[in-house]
Structure 1
Amino acid sequence: MTTPADTPPPTPYGTPHAPLLTVRGETTLDVDPEIARIGITVTARGRDRRTTLDDLTRRNTTVLDLIKSYGDTVENLSTGSLSISPELTPHGRGERIRNYHGHVHITTELTDFTALGELTTRLADLDLTRVDGPWWELRPTSPVHRQARRQAVHEAVRRAHEYADALGTTVAALVELTDTGTHGPHPRATFDRRTVRMSATAEPETTPETLDLEPRRLRVQAEVSAQFTMVPPRL
């Protein structure tokens, strides 16, 4: 009598006694974003190096203080890069400097999308400040990713049972499960990416109206490949 321990393992290509069934499971979820990310570039320019640096420091502090005033709405705030560079006089002899250019790049992430429009408007209203974004995202630990993977596995199992049923038999065992790709989140393909880009070079005469920024739904995709053995069908 043959026992389960004596039964040889299924081969990668299957046998008449253990036919191999390979299926793919995939799912696509359209979900609301959890965070919005914007980029801020603060600029200063002048003929004197120290004055340019002082202006850049003051504007950078103003931007950081404004962002921090939104409290727990701000999930992340970081400075990406800082640069102070001279601009040489063209066609001149020697190393004669015409101007100094200073830039600071800041990135922040918000969870309150109502406050996002107000903050974006106030930042763009500052002197020599540029705002890029928003980019809508999910957190890396978002349960949406797990939900997509689970649904992809369930889809693979469902397909396997359907194929086996079409042959008048049943699925016997799972041989292998491979994660062939989890994609996203990314904007839904039915829309073009919208980007808010603004810059201010002087103080406006009136306070601008707050921007109304509508969150973009994101598309998360997961895909698995699964191999099963089947009870030999009667063909």
Structure 2
Amino acid sequence: MTDTPAPHGTPDHPRVAVRGEARIDVDPETARIAITVSTRGKDRRTALEGLTHRNNTVLEIVRTYGPAIERLETGTLSITPELTPRSRDEKIRAYHGRVHIIAVLNDFTALGELTTRIADLDMTRVDGPWWSLRPDSPAHAAARRQAVHEAVQRAREYADALGSHLTALVELADLGAENTTPAPPLPAAPGGLRGSARHGAAPDTAPALDLEPQRQTVHAQVNARFNMSPPEL
């Protein structure tokens, strides 16, 4: 009959349980900006045409950066009527149009120039940047490996203190490795960089912003259980 160690260890097969943890700081891999294009017209058609023109202008500028743009997406679009103040009927004063665009860049030099060009457009707002790592970033694997190494080292130190040595790994449980500074949701409150009220301004007249990437913290934790030799007490 095989002498199988008990689930919680025995005097002949003691068990040690430890936690390994790692926290590393790395440079971000991508930056996300949110662009809001707005327009106002006396009727729905005018507002929609103005919004279409400004939206196309923004998209054309962003696309000129080629491979620096990792992702370009259009979010929500809205055309909202504005009622005449203190009017007893539903008389519409104007229409407001708005479209949200998301751009994710992997070239931070291009990011500063693009942000300035977009913010210099009429009736355009820029929020961000939000720095992040890709889900498959090597930094996550590095943090997990470091957490495992720490767990093994810690278990060995406990075993050494008892005059024992580790004999087998019983369990390794991943508690998650994630970026602790994720990109926040798009803001709804006023703020961000806004376009000027000038018409006909060249999109590249303003100097490019010098943006410093925000370091990202990657955290990993593991629980580990080891069997060890009987201690010398």
TM-score (structure 1 length as normaliser): 0.89
- TM superposition outliers: structure 1 runs of 4+ over 4 Å: none
Give the alignment of 1:58-69 within 5 angstroms. Answer: 58-69=53-64
Whether the 8 Å contact between 2:36 and 2:99 is mirrored in structure 1 is yes
Q: Name the structure 2 match of 1:81.
A: 76
CA offsets 1:129-168 (integer angstroms, 9 cap, x no match): 0000111111111111111111111110111111100110
Aligned residue number for residue 227 of structure 1:
225
Q: Does 1:25 align with 2:23?
A: no
Question: Aligned-residue CA RMSD in angstroms?
Answer: 1.7
Q: Which residue of 1 aligns with 2:148?
A: 153
Distance 2:65 2:110 in 1: 8
Tell me which residue corresponds to 1:218: 216
Deviations 1:163-221 (A, max 9, x none): 1001100111111111113231528xxxxxxxx92101412778222111111111111
Summarize deviations over 1:7-58 as a string: whole Å, max 9, x none.
Answer: 22431x3221221211010111110111111110000112211000000000
SS in structure 2 of the partner of residue 186 of structure 1: coil
Q: How big is the shift at 1:92?
A: 2.0
Match of 1:180 among 142, 160, 175: 175
Aligned residue pairs: how many?
222
Equivalence for 1:132? 127
Name the counterpart of 2:187: none
Compute the displacement of 1:90 (Å).
3.6
Cα distance in 2, alignment partners of residues 92 and 156 from structure 1:
71
Match of residue 47, structure 1, among 42, 54, 61: 42
The reply on whether 1:8 has 2:4 as its aligned counterpart is: yes
State whether structure 2 residue 96 is matched by structure 1 residue 101: yes
- 8 Å contact 2:5–2:13 — kept in the other structure? no
Q: Which runs of 5+ in 2 are unaligned?
A: 183-190
Select the residue among 99, 117, 126 that pairs with 2:112. 117
SS at match of 1:209: coil
Matches of 1:17 and 1:91, distance apart in 2:
87
The whole-number CA distance in structure 2 between the counterparts of 1:178 and 1:154 is 14
* 2:13 counterpart SS class: coil
Q: Which runs of 5+ in 1 are unaligned?
A: 188-195
What is the identity percentage for the equivalent residue pairs of Structure 1 and Structure 2? 59
Q: Does 1:203 align with 2:181?
A: no
Cα shift readout 1:86-127 (whole Å, capped 9, x = no counterpart): 122343222211221111100011111111111000000001
